[in-house]
Structures are given as C-alpha cells and as structure tokens.
C-alpha cells in the first residue's frame, strides 16, 4: 500500500463509518478522507478528513489571515507616460 491514499465517503454509502465520527469530522454529507497505514501489525488504517479549500475572495482572505507575518502594502510609484 502507498503511504497515502484517498477515499470518498458518499452521502448514500456512509454506513461503514460511525455516525459520531462523521459528525465530528464534518462528513455529514460525504467528502474525501486520506487513508494511511498505521503499520502496527494488525493492518490498521488512519482516516483523516481532507479539508475543502475555499475558492474566490473569501478563500484568498482566509489564506492571507493565516500568514504568520503581516503583509505590507507595496510602495506606489508613478508610471512614465509617453
């Protein structure tokens, strides 16, 4: 098995995963999870929900707000005209 695989949890076929875990992981309506082998001798796997990335201006604002340092506005300069 590869180090990382993905699995899609559909809204219809969620019966294999416990409801309390789906609710806690934000998979009420399905989603994608990452599957990793644990290598403990019992063929265990670790399921980690993959976070959906926000697109558009809200996603860009969220990405900028997660930066560790403030973003300084660039210095303006006049453009030469012909």
How confident is the model over 2-47, as pLDDT tens digits? 677 888 887 766 567 787 888 888 887 888 888 888 888 888 888 8
What is the predicted pLDDT for the residue at 54?
A: 65
What is the predicted pLDDT for the residue at 14?
A: 58
Work out the pLDDT band at 56, boundaries 50, 70, 90: confident
pTM of the shown model: 0.52
What is the predicted pLDDT for the residue at 2?
A: 65
Which ranges in 1-82 belong to alpha helices (H)? 19-25, 56-65
What is the predicted pLDDT for the residue at 1?
A: 52
What is the predicted pLDDT for the residue at 48?
A: 85
Domain boundaries defined on the chain:
5-65
Contact between 48 and 26 under an 8 Å Cβ cutoff? The reply is no
Q: Helix and strand tally (H, E) in the chain?
A: 2, 3
């Amino acid at each position: 098995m590869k180090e990382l695989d993905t699995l899609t949890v559909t809204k219809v076929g969620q019966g294999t995963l416990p409801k309390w875990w789906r609710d806690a992981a934000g998979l009420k309506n399905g989603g994608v999870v990452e599957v990793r082998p644990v290598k403990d001798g019992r063929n265990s796997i670790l399921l980690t929900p993959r976070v959906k990335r926000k697109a558009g201006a809200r996603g860009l604002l969220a990405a900028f707000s997660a930066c560790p340092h403030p973003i300084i506005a660039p210095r303006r300069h006049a453009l030469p005209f012909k």
